[in-house]
Amino acid sequence: MYKAKHIGLVYSLIVIFLSSCSAASTEQQDEIMILPPEELYGELFYDVQTKEIFPDSKAFVDAIPKKDVKEIREEYRKLDDKSVNSISEFVMANFKIPGGGGDFYQSDSSSINQHIKKLWQVLKRPADEQVSGTLLPLPNPYIVPGGRFREIYYWDSYFTMLGLQEDGETEIIRNMVDNFAYLINTYGFIPNGNRTYYLGRSQPPFFAMMVEILAEEEGDEVYVDYLEEMKKEYNFWMAGVEHLSQENPAHRRVVQVAEGKILNRYWDDNSEPRPESYREDVKTAEEAVAAFPELSKEKVYRHLRAGAESGWDYSSRWLDADASGEFSLYTIHTIDIIPVDLNSLLYNLEGSIAKAYQLTGNTSEAEEFRIKQQRRKKLINKFCWNSEKEFYMDYNFRRNKNTEVVSLAGLYPLFFKISAPGQANEVAEKIQSDFLKSGGVVTTLNHTGEQWDAPNGWAPLQWISIKDLRNYGKEALANRIRNRWLEINKAVYARTYKMLEKYNVEDLTKESGGGEYPTQDGFGWTNGVYQKLSGEK
C-alpha cells in the first residue's frame, strides 16, 4: 500500500479498499490496489514518462489496465527490448489509453446556451463502481471539466455549479456536493481530483460555497446537512497548529504570523515529481538546483505541488523576478507565501460553519467560529493589504513582506466583503486602470509564459471580479467586465463552436496559451460562468 511518507492516509485507503470491494470475493480483493501510478506500475511508469511515450504526461497515469496490474508488471520486468517502440507497443497492448483534447464529443452549430446545455450530458460521468487504474470511485454522477481533465476537480466544480443552477440541474448539484462530502469523510479532505495521484493535496476550499448554492435551491437546512463535512475540511486546513512556534512558524498548511495568530498557505504532503507532470517537474527541479545549488529537488517538488493545490499552476504569484524583471518557473517558492485568496475562502468557511451551528441552536459553537472569522479578517487586512499599492496581495512570511505580484487573487476579500469601502474603491480603480482588457480582466499584469498570467483571462476570476465589484456598488465596472467576457466567449464560439478553458483577453485575434499543456475545450467552469452571467436579467 501507500508508503506513510507519501500521504499518511493508509487508513483512508483501506476504507476505500473495503467499501469498493464489499461485494467481491477475498481473492478478488487481493488483486485491487489503490496506489499512485509510480507505485502501481513501478519501473514501467518511470520508463513511460522519461522516454516520452506520450506527449502529455497525464495520458499514461489516467490509463486503465486491461488485466491484473501484478501480471502487467511481471510481464514488463521480463521484457528484453525496452526501446521506445517496444514500450509503446507493450503499453497499447496492456492499457486502454484515454483520448485527449476535445475528441470525446462532436461540436455543432447550436446557440451557445443550447450547446452548453447539451454539454452537461456530455461532461457527465456515472457513479464509479470500483477503482479503475488511478481513478477513485465516487458514489454519484458528476460533471468533469473536459479535455484532458477526465475526473472531477475540486474548485472547478463550484463554477460549473453556477451554470447547472441556472439551467435547473439541482439533482446533479446535490450529487456533486454529496460526492465531495464523501471524499471528506473518506480522506479527511477533498483532493485536487478523484485520482490516487491527487491524494497529497487539495485545491482552493470552495465546498462551503457549493453548500451555499445548494441551500439557495433547497433551503438553509442544507448548511446543517453538511456541517460535519465543513468542520472536517476546516480541521484539515488547520491541522498542525500545535507544532507552531517562533522557531518553527509553519507546519503543513498553517503559518504563525504572530504569537497565537494563524493564517494558511498551500501545501502538498508529497515531495516527489507530480506523476501527471513528471517530466516537467524533473526538468524544473534540475534547472532550480543548477541556479540555486543550496536548494534540494525535494523542496522544488513541494513548491510545485503546492502551486498545483492553489489552482494557479502556474503563475508569477509563486515566482521571483530576476534583475531584468523576468520570471522563471524554477524560482517557485509557493510554500513561503500566505495567499490572500486561500485565507479569504477560509474566512468564508468559518462563517458558514458558524451559520450552520446557529441553525442547529448551538449558539456557543456559532459564536466561537464567528470569533475565528473576525480574527482572520483582521489578519488578512494586516498582512495582505498593501497600502502603498492600494491592493490586496499575497504575503511572504519568510521575508516578512508582501510579494511583488499584483493579481486578481487580491479581489477575494471583496468577494467575501472583508474589505472596507475605502479599500474597495482603491481596488476597483486598479482593476479599471490596469486589469481591464478588451476581453475581460487579465489574471496578473506579468507576461511570463505561465498560463495564470497575462494575457490570459479565466472564467472563475471573471466571476469573482464581477461579484466583488457588485458587493461594493461598482455596477458599471462589473457590467463592463461581464459584457466583455461574454463577448469573447461568443466570438470564439462563433469561430470554433467550442467553449475553452481560458482566453486571451488582451488580443481577441489570438488564442490563449502558456503552461504545461494546450488550451483545453469542454469546458466546465467556462460553461458555468457563461450560463450564469448570460442568464442575468
User: Mind listing the pLDDT tens digit for each residue in 194-213?
Assistant: 999 999 999 999 999 999 99
CA distance linking residue 228 with residue 462, whole number of Å: 31
Residue 525: strand, helix, or coil: helix
Over residues 381-408, the mean pLDDT reads 98
User: Are 167 and 537 within 8 A, CB to CB?
Assistant: no
Residue 482 within a domain: no
Residue 260: left if φ>0, alpha if ψ -120 to 50, beta else—which one?
Answer: left
Residue 85 within a domain: yes
Angle at 181 (CA atoms; ends 177, 185), nearest 5 degrees: 170
Concerning whether 388 is annotated as a catalytic residue, the answer is no
| In the predicted structure, residue 246 carries a pLDDT above the cut 60 | yes
CA distance linking residue 37 with residue 3, whole number of Å: 13
- Which is the catalytic residue, given 151, 309, 468, 501? 501
Lowest mean pLDDT among 120-129, 298-307, 343-352: 120-129
In whole angstroms, what separates CA 505 from the centre of its chain?
Answer: 22
User: Are 275 and 54 within 8 A, CB to CB?
Assistant: no
The pLDDT, as a whole number, for residue 166 is: 98
Omega before residue 455 within 30° of 0, cis = yes
Over residues 249-259, the mean pLDDT reads 97
Residue 229 within a domain: no
- Which is the catalytic residue, given 212, 281, 313, 394? 313
Residue 72 within a domain: yes
CA distance linking residue 493 with residue 488, whole number of Å: 8
| In the predicted structure, residue 104 carries a pLDDT above the cut 80 | no
Would you state the cell numbers that stand for residue 324, as one nine-digit string? 531584468
The pLDDT, as a whole number, for residue 517 is: 65
| In the predicted structure, residue 118 carries a pLDDT above the cut 70 | yes
Over residues 490-511, the mean pLDDT reads 92
User: Are 397 and 250 within 8 A, CB to CB?
Assistant: yes
| In the predicted structure, residue 3 carries a pLDDT above the cut 60 | no
The pLDDT, as a whole number, for residue 537 is: 78
What's the mean pLDDT when you consider all of the chain? 92
| In the predicted structure, residue 22 carries a pLDDT above the cut 70 | no
Over residues 328-339, the mean pLDDT reads 98
The pLDDT, as a whole number, for residue 497 is: 92
CA distance linking residue 143 with residue 153, whole number of Å: 9
| In the predicted structure, residue 102 carries a pLDDT above the cut 60 | no
| In the predicted structure, residue 6 carries a pLDDT above the cut 60 | no
Confidence grade of residue 19 (pLDDT, cut at 50, 70, 90): very low
Residue 51 within a domain: yes
Over residues 332-343, the mean pLDDT reads 98
The pLDDT, as a whole number, for residue 33 is: 62
Percent of the chain having pLDDT more than 70? 91
CA dist 179 → 103, 186, 197, 311, 523 (Å): 27, 10, 18, 20, 20
**pLDDT tens-digit series, residues 152-176:** 999 999 999 999 999 999 999 999 9
Concerning whether 501 is annotated as a catalytic residue, the answer is yes
Residue 112 within a domain: no
Residue 330 within a domain: no
- Total domain count for the chain? 1
For residues 215, 218, 219 and 224, what is the CA-based torsion angle, rounded to 10 degrees? -70
Range of 92's domain?
35-99
Residue 413 within a domain: no
Lowest mean pLDDT among 108-117, 328-337, 432-441, 466-475: 108-117
The pLDDT, as a whole number, for residue 199 is: 97
Beta-bridge mates of residue 327: 321
| In the predicted structure, residue 474 carries a pLDDT above the cut 50 | yes
Q: What is the pTM of this model?
A: 0.93
Confidence grade of residue 88 (pLDDT, cut at 50, 70, 90): very high
CA dist 447 → 152, 321, 444 (Å): 30, 12, 8
The pLDDT, as a whole number, for residue 66 is: 96
* 429 against 108, higher pLDDT: 429
Percent of the chain having pLDDT more than 90? 87
Environment class of 81 (CB within 10 Å of its CB; exposed 0-12, middle 13-18, buried 19+): exposed
Handedness of CA 297, 302, 303, 308 (dihedral sign): positive
Confidence grade of residue 107 (pLDDT, cut at 50, 70, 90): low
